[in-house]
Structure 1
């Protein structure tokens, strides 16, 4: 915790490994630890009682719900009840892309071979995007929602793919990228798209 410019220990938590931190829309801090999931409302810390599983990732959904991800499984909590999602494959992260919806990253983050591409939650149904739809590869390391509504996919070992709701187009080293391995994507206020690569620096 940084308070008044000083780093201090948050002693309310039990001694445990911290996997993830996220703040929900009600400004509650969700903390995923090896000792369970905890919620801190600014005054008191409580253990989340509705799940007995080691949670490694927490994400916010477009429906103001909270996703809890552990060992490839995903649960959704809506402030009243929790339910486990029925998925065709394992998931390691969920990314909300503005108003377009929630994307589920499948397989493992840095695995080059994945049987499924990312899943898009459309209402109550999942739509699978894959190489058959134009992605450079099924294995996606990250997803970024651009200022212009374009969805960017960071593809493990195969550059990037972009999706504009109608078609998919891919970029790789032949198009000017300095590395096939793009770890992160960001679009600035001037609409320039930045690609942070594994060993080739930053491309614009």
Structure 2
């Protein structure tokens, strides 16, 4: 038994409406632009990247999103034509002072800030604090290690006091090493030696 014509028309209209709704939810040109959070999985040599939530899709990034790193939680946006854009990382953990790892034999000086780093949105970072050790300090000694996010792409140097009346250079290396060396004269073998990080008020990351 066939349905009356009006009922058939209603069923057809309902089916077409459902199909249009499904297409609309999956087609950017229909639903318009949108944005979402994503986690960076690959950083390509040309500065583009891929995210875990959309494997295989190459995403360009804004110029303000500097030094992208695998693991960054970022905001991505898709245009109505289907193109993706990485707007930048979220700031949940990137704006606070975070302690750095000191090498064995070094300790924070309680009268000063604890050695720490802070990242900025303009592609720079800052260090602060004072650490010390007692005894013989050899030029080139690694006194601390920077985390990946705070490491410069090239070496960064700053003059600093390394003992009372003695001066040298603190160097930040791309592998994260923070060394003390290039002393102006031979250091005494006794007494405190310092890792002075306030000299790095701002330094370039990339």
TM range (shorter): under 0.3
Structure number having the greater helix percentage: 2
Greater RCO (Cα-Cα under 8 Å, separation 6 or more)? 2
The two structures have a TM-score, normalised by structure 2, of 0.26
The two structures have a TM-score, normalised by structure 1, of 0.26
